[in-house]
Amino acid sequence: MTDETRGKGGEPRQQTTDRDRTMTTAQGGPISDDQNSLTAGPRGPVLMEDHVFREKMFHFDHERIPERVVHARGYGVHGHFELKEAIPELSAADIFQRVGEKTPTFTRFSTVAGNKGSFDLARDVRGFATKFYTKEGNWDLVGNNIPVFFIQDAMKFPDLVHSVKAAPDRGFPQAQSAHDNFWDFISLSPEAIHMTLWQMSDRAIPRSFRFMEGFGVHTFRLVNAEGKSHYVKFHWKPKQGLQSVVWNEALKINGADPDFHRRDMWDAIDAGDFPQWDLGIQVFDDEFADNFEFDILDATKLIPEEQVPVRIIGTLTLDANVDNFFAETEQVAFCTQNIVRGIDHTNDPLLQGRNFSYLDTQLKRLGGPNFTHIPINAPKCPFHNFQQDGHMAMHNPKGRVNYEPNSWGEDGNPRENPEIGFKSYPEEVSGTKQRVRSETFADHYSQARQFYISQTKIEQQHIAAGYTFELSKCQEEPIRLRVLSHLMNVHDDLAKQVAEGLGVTQMPEPATPAREPITDLPPSDALSILKNGPDSFAGRKLGLYLTDGAEAAVVEALEKAFADEGAMVAIVTPHIQGVTLSDGSTRAADEKIDGGPSVVFDAVALVFSDDASGKIAKNKPSQDFVSDAYAHNKFIAWTKAAEPLLKAAGADDMDGGMMEVSPDNATDFAKTCRKLRFWEREE
Ligand code: HDE
């Protein structure tokens, strides 16, 4: 990649020559000394006239912009969307017309509750927002990794967000929902219960952004060239398969590497291992909507894939890291109102509220109405209008015409185009002006139950453990019991497990449902992570712990087996200088043992020399490396000399997740790792 082409987020990077490298002020004046302020005498006062100092400090003082009020911590990546199946019969959107055509994209993943500097493995929803730079304007699909939301009406969003974020008096807790305010709000808002099942499940602690799904959440419209409309829900399906961590692991990753998710994305793309997602659509019509058990405008409900299959129409490939985090990841401004001809909104009250909020918040965050001039936000197709001036205006049209209609000639004089211009779907609307929640939004428990019964036993245990952990952080007993009273309407088994975990012996009365739940919805396999895992270890990472003198043949066999699998191998050693193997070859270290705990790997292998065996068994970080891998149900391979360490770490119960490794069976170990975790250990 040349310097000139790297600036994907904006202008090409400037070519630098020797002469160009002279440091200048923002005004372009060459700087002779950037180390010392201008003073009256070597020990005298700094002079006000020092314009070089003043300009430098002034700019530094203003470096920060307000962080996003939610989704503050995020990570952006460039990519492209390739259309695999054209859908002109459904949508006139230009991006959906020509098979094989690639549309540039920018995707930002995020956590919701934490500040910009918080940690990656918070138990939280993940944002999954993609800007498609289509030939007919930017289309933003601003989704999450969970297909439903906490609330039904945008009016409640400030309350929801206030309740989950740090309390206003004490300024904590940071980046977590395990506290009274959040569960107080939830327990008084039964519509949120379905979403909390997802949030307490392992969906909220993904292993990597690469291993999670994305959802547009709301029902949108697709409108074809004849003006015919279908409803649609958008899905992102990771080609890498789904994978999450376990909660104890998440807690430890946050200490070991708070940047775990962003580092993972950066490393994968840097290594050329480009993550991909298929874009799927669930398309349905009014007849389906009228017969569906729930309201399609209610964002606390999903449509099971068994009822409306997901049709794959294209693939997103993320293939380039940003050049400048601030210019691209920070300044990108997603707006749900950015839609293109062929896609339209519905009357989902959450979506309609969002359409106001995103534009509004960008104004504050980016300082004025010209944020569309920032390269990452600007369309990549031609654009012309009579908008002008304002803070930091970068596109300043020439000539005298700045109004319409006008009678000036054609040149630089944009006109409306009814042929290709955006037209809202002409839906008939009428009704009494009032503040009321539709009766059709009143069922709060049925899909929560459906989600629960769709999970494997292990996943159900994790959900119960998630509630137990979070509610145990609530100091107020009435709040804990109120949540329990809702869970009793979801599933007895779940309510019992949580009650037991909390030590509640006297169950509360179940909450009074606004509408009797439907208890016979069938399970949906698509809702489980473990039923949708990968079929290889590709894209995952083996932590290979080596000592000096480790048998070279085993090391080479493991390296080859995992490379063949498409996986990464990170070398962990007692010293950062690396190790010398039995045949005199060397391996550089990726991590020293205390900086590379097993929580940052997907599987581990221990290849030690006899000489190192006794000493390493007594080493605390080495014991943690093994005991954590064991406790988190990871596959562990070892050579004989590692047995004392296994024993010291309490991992000497030789179950099916443990394998003594030799040059002959390294490939078998890599294949075993395809299951990702040995869940039987937890059962
Ligand atoms: Fe957002 N949301 N949101 N949200 N949201 C923002 O916009 C809002 C909702 C989502 O990487 C804000 O630019 C309201 C659902 C993502 O830059 C803000 C409501 C979904 C991102 C805002 C919702 C999302 C945001 C803050 C209730 C999934 C990060 C900064 C009606 C479908 C985008 C910003 C990025 C960000 C408002 C609910 C996804 C304040 C009012 C539902 C991925 O405008």
Nearest to 397 by CA among 412, 377, 378: 412
Q: Which residues, other chains included, contact 568 with Cβ-Cβ below 8 Å and sequence gap of 6+?
A: 267, 271, 273, 539, 540, 541, 542, 562
How far apart are the CA of 166 and the centre of ligand 1, in A?
18
Statement to judge: residues 129 and 253 lie in one domain: yes
Q: Is 179 a catalytic residue?
A: no
User: Is 361 touching ligand 1 by the criterion CB < 6 Å?
Assistant: yes
Apex CA 461: angle with CA 460 and CA 464, to 5°?
A: 90
What pLDDT does residue 583 have?
A: 98
Statement to judge: residues 489 and 548 lie in one domain: no
Q: What is the mean pLDDT of residues 175-194?
A: 98
DSSP line for 572-615: EESSTT-EE-TTS-EE--SEEGGGS-GGGSSEEEEE--HHHHHH
What pLDDT does residue 399 have?
A: 87
ipTM above 0.85, yes or no: yes
Cα separation, 340 vs 96, in Å, equals: 11
Alpha helix locations (H) across 226-259?
247-256
CATH number of 562's domain: 3.40.50.880
Statement to judge: residues 131 and 273 lie in one domain: yes
How far apart are the CA of 658 and the centre of ligand 1, in A?
44
Mutate to test the pocket of ligand 1, among 67, 68, 70, 348 (most ligand atoms within 8 A of CB): 70
107-118 residue pLDDT tens: 999 999 999 999
Q: Is residue 90 part of a domain?
A: yes
What pLDDT does residue 15 have?
A: 57
Statement to judge: residues 494 and 606 lie in one domain: no
Q: Is residue 467 part of a domain?
A: yes
CATH number of 222's domain: 2.40.180.10
Q: Is residue 424 part of a domain?
A: no
How far apart are the CA of 112 and the centre of ligand 1, in A?
9
Q: Is 291 a catalytic residue?
A: no
Nearest to 22 by CA among 38, 36, 6, 33: 33
- Which residues line the annotated binding site? 68, 108, 157, 354, 358, 365
What residue numbers bound the domain in which 156 lies?
A: 74-373
Statement to judge: residues 81 and 213 lie in one domain: yes
Mutate to test the pocket of ligand 1, among 354, 356, 361 (most ligand atoms within 8 A of CB): 354
Q: Is residue 44 part of a domain?
A: no
Statement to judge: residues 136 and 219 lie in one domain: yes
Q: What is the mean pLDDT of residues 488-500?
A: 98
* Mean pLDDT of the chain, nearest integer: 96
Give the atom of ligand 1 at the shortest distance from the alpha carbon of 70: 26
- Which residues line the annotated binding site for heme? 68, 108, 157, 354, 358, 365
Q: Is residue 494 part of a domain?
A: yes
User: Is 677 touching ligand 1 by the criterion CB < 6 Å?
Assistant: no
Cα separation, 652 vs 6, in Å, equals: 51
pLDDT for residue 586 is more than 60: yes
Q: pTM here?
A: 0.96
Q: Is residue 267 part of a domain?
A: yes
User: Is 126 touching ligand 1 by the criterion CB < 6 Å?
Assistant: no
Statement to judge: residues 292 and 267 lie in one domain: yes
Structure tokens at 188: 């008084």
The Cα-based distances of 258 to 107, 250, 269, 475, 589 in angstroms read 21, 10, 19, 27, 21
Contact 549/611 with Cβ under 8 angstroms? Answer: yes
Using pLDDT thresholds of 50, 70 and 90, give the confidence band for residue 520.
Answer: very high
600-611 residue pLDDT tens: 999 999 999 999
User: Is 71 touching ligand 1 by the criterion CB < 6 Å?
Assistant: yes
Statement to judge: residues 482 and 626 lie in one domain: no
Statement to judge: residues 336 and 454 lie in one domain: no
Q: How many CB atoms lie within 10 A of CB 392?
A: 12
Q: Which of 321, 346, 373 is the last residue of a domain?
A: 373
How far apart are the CA of 361 and the centre of ligand 1, in A?
10
Cα separation, 405 vs 563, in Å, equals: 64
CATH number of 475's domain: 1.20.1370.20
How far apart are the CA of 468 and the centre of ligand 1, in A?
28
Using pLDDT thresholds of 50, 70 and 90, give the confidence band for residue 9.
Answer: very low
Statement to judge: residues 174 and 285 lie in one domain: yes
Q: How many domains does the chain have?
A: 3
Q: Which residues, other chains included, contact 61 with Cβ-Cβ below 8 Å and sequence gap of 6+?
A: none
Using pLDDT thresholds of 50, 70 and 90, give the confidence band for residue 10.
Answer: very low
Give the atom of ligand 1 at the shortest distance from the alpha carbon of 358: 44
Q: Is residue 155 part of a domain?
A: yes
Q: Which of 331, 346, 373 is the last residue of a domain?
A: 373
Structure tokens at 486: 């809702």
Statement to judge: residues 470 and 543 lie in one domain: no
What pLDDT does residue 17 have?
A: 65
Structure tokens at 67: 């962080």
Mutate to test the pocket of ligand 1, among 336, 358, 377 (most ligand atoms within 8 A of CB): 358
Statement to judge: residues 542 and 501 lie in one domain: no
Q: Is residue 362 part of a domain?
A: yes
Q: Which of 326, 347, 373 is the last residue of a domain?
A: 373
